[in-house]
Each structure stands twice: as structure tokens, then as C-alpha cells.
Structure 1
């Protein structure tokens, strides 16, 4: 019996890692992972009733999902370049499908948590895998494509709770099953993904001796990790604590909930809006403006009357940082092949830690302190961006001419 030959890369343009159908499928994949991450919260009342859980016990579902996400990022990175891109993405979609079905129909809570863990593992693989491939697969257009890709995550994050609201929390198994079917269908367009690992940029061995280069790489990677942990922490903290803060300063519960939805909508819109700007502005310039705007909006949120509008501004400004920073990271730290995995995994940890950490700060002070604390974190993001821009500036750009990273 003859075996079928492996699908060639002829469907993919020589200068790209994706065919057009594969780009569309990848964007749908990010809608999927955004929706899956956002489904656990709205499903909590039904989960507590079905399994007899406390609030903290039900919250373990999202924790299991994120633990799986970090494991998926690191696992995908270990196999990246050794196994074809299609196989890695295919396994990730399959794990999301299997995990979602297991979570939806588990007869016991421990098995449901295992399903969330498996779903998270596939989630991490898709999150890291597509971000990594988009960061290298479109040349100069990679920052724009990364912003468009990550904007679709926001679409999913908005759509997931809306679906639970439409069908009811007790129908969460049907919603999870629907997304499992979608994940399985996304296996079909993987033939449009280039299977070989894109070549990395050569290390700048001429400009820096070996020891100096190693120290420089470690310093750059450390500051990138700090930037990602802090900014994702701010992003997650605003989404989690904005309603509580707005109610504490006198706004109604309805307005607080609506303002939080607007925050996520503006975050999604911001990534679409910045995509064309990446073709004219450097990544450091975009991230510096984003961090500065985020900090100013959080400072404005200290004023109760301005807070709902200021949080919408936070969503708009903070949106481009995550996707725009990845191509910059790849160029700035070419010797560290695993740099992308480290910062994405660290950003997930930042998202998980943001809620309880800010909760402890609120216990020590009060909920009115939320925007002030987040302003300080955003200011640190701006300081990290400024340091990275100076550290990665080429000698010919030191004078701040047209090629300057911040010009």
C-alpha cells in the first residue's frame, strides 16, 4: 500500500510562513483561545452547583487552565524546530478539543480540572506557536500581523461570556463542546503553514565579545521579562478589579460592568488600529507611547468622575504592547532562541499573580488605591521600555537620527 506524501509548502508564498487561508484559520484560532480562557468565570455558578464547590474551589478551573498554559508554552518551545510546525499546532488544537470535551462532561471535579489542564496545555501551544511563527513569518509586516492576530484573542474574550449569557451558565457543556468542534476543524487548514522552522537572525558577534554578549543577552532578556510580567499584570488587574473600584467610588454596578466590557473592547480595537502604524513607527516607539498613555490614563482614573473613561483609554493604549514587543525581542536577543517562550510564559504568570497580589494591596490600603498602584506599575513599564530602547540602539542611531528606535 502506498503512503500519502507529506503536504508540500507550495501553497505558501516563499517570503511567508502562512498561506492566506492559514492566516484566517490562525486568527480564528486566537478567537478560540480568547473565548476558552474567558468561559470559566461566567460558568462558575453552574460549576459550584453541579459539583458542590466553594468559590475558591471553583476558581481552580482557571488556575488549572493557566498552569496548563505555561506548560504548553514551555513544551511547545522544547519541540520547536525539532518537529514540524503543523504537527505542533495540530497537537495543540487536538488537546484543546479533547480537554474542552472532558471539562464539559466530567463526572467528578478532579477529572474536570484535568480537562481544564489539558485544554490549557493546548492553549499555551497555540498562544506561543502562532505568536512565534507570526513574529518571523511576515518580514517587515510581522508586527502588524501580530497585532491583528492578538486582536482576535480579544474578540474571543468578549464573545465567550456573551455566549454563556445567551445560553445560560447551566448550558456551559454545550458551549465548551462547540469550541471543541471548532478546534478540531482548525486542523484542516494546517496544510497552509510552512512546516520548517524559520531561520533566526544571526547573533551580533562582531560588535560584542563572547562574555560581553552573554551578559548583554541576559540583561536584555531580564528587562523584557520584567516588561511583559508588569504590563500583563496591569492588563489583567484592570479587567479584574475595574468593576470593584468603580463601584467603590460611587458608580452603579451596571455602569461598572458596562465600563469593563468597554475596556476589553478598546483593548481589541487598539490592536487593530495600531497594525498600520507598525509599518511606519518602530516597535520601541509604539511601546513607549503605549506605556506612557497607559500610565497617564491610570493616573486620571484616580478621579472618580473620569475613571470609566480613563479605563477605556487604558485598554486602547495597553493593547499593542504584547504583540509589538515580540519582533523587537527577537531582533534584540537573537542568541537566545527560547526568549519568546520565556516572556510569554512569564506574562501568563503575571496574569495569574495580578489578581491575588492586588487583592493583598487592597487589604492593606483600600480599593480606591487600585489605579494609583497600577499607575506605578505602568511607569515601571515605561522605564523598562526606555532602557531597552537605549540598550538596543545601534551605534549609528546614537545621535537620535531618523533611524533611532524612538524616532
Structure 2
């Protein structure tokens, strides 16, 4: 999944030449992928009761393979965008399916295992552009076709996946279950703040990834140094998820995410100092790393009766990634590129406030749950 998402950007020069596209039109490939991803999360969540885990994953693997192959072989840009949308549909189904399975399937180890799962996504995102760079952007169809072929054997790896979580209550009982007097009265508020946390933090993740090179060049760094610093940011995000996995076995999710949001905010403010900016952005990658995978088990524990809560926040995370570019671009038009870290720092402070609120609102259920 990480590799597929990362293939589109490095392929843009070849796409522009092959289909005669403007830069913005060529960037629609990744946008179509994300739109399909949001639709995939919501669609497969709706079908969950009828399909089960194995069928959701199998269908998603097939859709992702078909979409990747279609993107490689498309004779024109509209068909390529349709194929990217199809691949994104499968991508969203897998994103939903695997994250939900890991969130409920490993008990008290779920937070640690989700961080390991998402760290491997990061490995793919790092290696994907390297692969396109090694073979040349002009050969992107071969890379997408190879991905489609490599995706298919995953269908043989589903026999050990349960269709239902063991011991899951019946639908009626699940709807009636409560997590405590506080959450039973304010479940909608809790879910809304979780959604806001995911939209905002993924917006920061995408905002740093998209604007760090421009900001660093504006404050005096060369293009090569800026690109390298951005690669380090993504690398630190992957490293951070591996590092937090053992910590997740000892510390509760609210504490981990609170520290992550606080550290992320401090690093973004430090990034406004030109001499510290590359190192501060690396720190942002390290601190933001655990938030996505650590929040899902916390949500599952805090609101077990809201079955679709996980799908909602996963879809929200993709919306945050899509909206970050234009929203930050408009904010930069009103201010200046030098203000990028301060703007993102303000958003990070909102993430911290949301986390503190959630920690207080869910304290009753967290205290009642064994760690």
C-alpha cells in the first residue's frame, strides 16, 4: 500500500509527456487514488456485515491489482484516472480491513502491532519512489504492472483471518452496550473530536511532506538539501512507529498521543528558526508517527458500541490528506511561505487540545479496562 501511494508522484514527468498534461492535471492521479480510498473505506464498512473480513480483504486486493494494471495500460488519461480510482477503492478496503483487524485482534498488544503495521506502510512509501527512480519514470507502466502481479499472491494468505472477531456480541447487544455513564451521554462528541484529531494530524503530515522542501529553499537551503531533509522526515515517521511499539505495551494510548502532539507542536515552532528547521522537521516526523496507529485501539476501547467509528476516522484521515494541500496553499497566500511551520504549529496545538479533551472524556472507560 505504501509503495502504490508513492508511485504516482515520481511518475508525473512521464505522465505529463505521455498524455500532454499540465502539472495540476498530472497530480489528479494521486487525488483519484485518495478519492477511491475514502469511498473504499466507507463502502467496505457498509458491506462488513455481509462479506466478513476475508472477503473484504480478498476483494480489496483484487481491486488494487486491477487498478494498478489498468493505470499501467491505460491508453488515455480519463481511463488512467478511472484505474487510479479503482486502485484507491481497493486501497481503502485494505486500509479499513487491516487497521480494524489489528485494532481488535491483538488484545492489549493492538496498539503496538498497529504501529508495526503502519511502519511497514512507511517502508513501502520510502522504497516506492526509489524504485521509480531506479528504473526511470518513463518505465512507470512496468512498475505498476509488477505491483499488480506482486499483489495477487496475498490472496493465498487469508486462510488465517477470521471473518468475525471472536467473542463479538450480537448486533443488538452491541448497540445497547455502554462504555460508561460519561460516554453514554456524549458518544457523539467523543467521535466528533476523534474525527477532528485524525483530519488535523493527517493534514499536518501531508502539509509538512508537501511544503517542507519549499519552505527550506525559501529560508536559504539548496534544493538537494531540502529534498534530503524531506526524505528524512518520512524516514523518521517510519522509525518512530517501530520505536513506539514496545512503549505501547507499557503506556496507555492517551499518554502516548498527548506526548506526540506536544512534541510535534514544539518541533513545528522550532522549524520557524532557519538554522533548526531541517532537524525540527525530522522531529515532527518522529512525534507524529504514533498518532494514527495508536488512536485506533483507543477509539475501539472508548466507543466499542459505535461499530463504524473506525471507518469514520480512517476515511477522515484520507480527507485530511486531500484537503491539506489546497487549505495550506490558501493560508500561505494570505501570509508567507516562511509562516508554514507556524501555521502547522497552530493546527498541531489544536491536535493537542483535542487529545487532552479526549483523555478526560474517556478516562472512565480507560480506567475500567485492563492494560
- Asked if 1:108 corresponds to 2:76, the answer is yes
Is the Cα contact below 8 Å between 1:136 and 1:198 reproduced in 2?
no
Residue 106 of structure 1 deviates from its aligned partner by 0.5
2: distance between equivalents of 1:267 and 1:332?
26
Query: Counterpart in 1 of 2:345?
Result: 375
- Asked if 1:49 corresponds to 2:17, the answer is yes
Residue number among 302, 311, 332 corresponding to 2:302 in the alignment: 332
Distance 1:383 1:404, change over 3 A: farther
2: distance between equivalents of 1:58 and 1:296?
35
Residue 266 of structure 1 deviates from its aligned partner by 0.3
Matches within 5 A, 1:128-277: 128-200=96-168, 205=178, 207-208=180-181, 215-277=185-247
Residue number among 55, 58, 76 corresponding to 1:87 in the alignment: 55
Gaps of 5+ in 1: 1-32
Residue 185 of structure 1 deviates from its aligned partner by 1.2
Matches within 5 A, 1:243-322: 243-322=213-292
1: distance between equivalents of 2:56 and 2:365?
39
Is the Cα contact below 8 Å between 1:80 and 1:197 reproduced in 2?
no
Distance 1:44 1:216, change over 3 A: same
Is the Cα contact below 8 Å between 2:67 and 2:84 reproduced in 1?
yes
Residue 165 of structure 1 deviates from its aligned partner by 0.5
Name the SS for the 1:337 alignment partner. coil
The CA RMSD measured in Å over matched residues stands at 1.8
Residue 85 of structure 1 deviates from its aligned partner by 1.2
Render the CA deviation track for 1:256-293: whole Å, top value 9, x for unaligned.
00000000000000000000001000000000000000
Is the Cα contact below 8 Å between 2:183 and 2:303 reproduced in 1?
no
- Asked if 1:78 corresponds to 2:56, the answer is no
Gaps of 5+ in 2: none
Residue 81 of structure 1 deviates from its aligned partner by 3.1
Is the Cα contact below 8 Å between 1:85 and 1:197 reproduced in 2?
no
Structure holding more helix per residue = 2
1: distance between equivalents of 2:370 and 2:102?
24
2: distance between equivalents of 1:404 and 1:86?
29
Is the Cα contact below 8 Å between 1:217 and 1:335 reproduced in 2?
no
1: distance between equivalents of 2:245 and 2:16?
41
Residue 87 of structure 1 deviates from its aligned partner by 1.1
2: distance between equivalents of 1:335 and 1:356?
35
Is the Cα contact below 8 Å between 2:72 and 2:144 reproduced in 1?
yes
Residue number among 346, 370, 380 corresponding to 2:316 in the alignment: 346
Distance 1:381 1:404, change over 3 A: farther
Residue 199 of structure 1 deviates from its aligned partner by 4.7
